[in-house]
Amino acid sequence: MTGGKPSALPTAVRTVIVGRKSGVRRGLQWMLAQIHPLGLGPEQLSTIELVLAEALNNIVEHAYPETVPTGDIAIRCTLLADGLHVTITDTGLPMASNATPLALGNLLNLKTSELPEGGFGLYLINDLAQNVSYQRTGGENRLDLKLAISLPS
């Protein structure tokens, strides 16, 4: 990050949402409202919203599908000198072992009819964020990532 200090914003914000689409909408609105005082430009805010939305919607779709009881999703955004660090945790189903992000090069070599139905959310997250990692420990899924942001002067 470059520029001035976000003195009006706590260095970390956290919320817990229900693992359903309605929870994702409310959680995104709340988190973006907390980040708004940073004075980020529309492109940076759009990137943050897109990455959070993709991650949260993937959790709702895959960790808490309609066939299993829903649970909570915890979202924590921490502002550090090198960017906005995001940690998202849930106790839903684990990520499938074959769920790997698509590489752009692989997509370019496929015909439209050969394109996979899913996996684009993981590709977007990996493309727009840095230091993306997933781990499953003690019945909890944890996604960590960093978003590079530039604070206004």
CATH number for the domain harbouring residue 136: 3.30.565.10
CA-closest candidate to residue 47, choices 142, 152, 129:
129
Residue 74 lies in a domain: yes
Q: Is the pLDDT of residue 94 over 60?
A: yes
* Measured distance CA(33)–CA(46) in Å, rounded: 13
Residue 6 lies in a domain: no
The Cα–Cα gap between 82 and 95 comes to: 28
Assess if residue 108 is contained within a domain. Answer: yes
Check pLDDT > 60 for residue 33. yes
Residues 130-139 as b or e (16 or more Cβ within 10 Å = b)? eebebeeeee
Confidence of residue 51 (pLDDT cuts 50, 70, 90): very high
Average pLDDT over residues 13-23: 94
Tell me how many domains the chain contains: 1
End-to-end CA distance of the chain: give it in Å, rounded: 11
SS3 16: strand
**Residue 2 within any structural domain of the chain:** no
Q: Which two tokens stand for residue 105?
A: 């090069």
Instruction: Give the domain extent around 124.
Output: 12-147
Q: Percent of the chain beyond pLDDT 90?
A: 58
Q: What is the mean pLDDT of residues 131-146?
A: 95
Q: What are phi and psi of 143, to 5 degrees?
A: -115, 125
Lateral strand order in the sheet of 12-18: 12-18, 72-80, 83-90, 140-147, 130-137
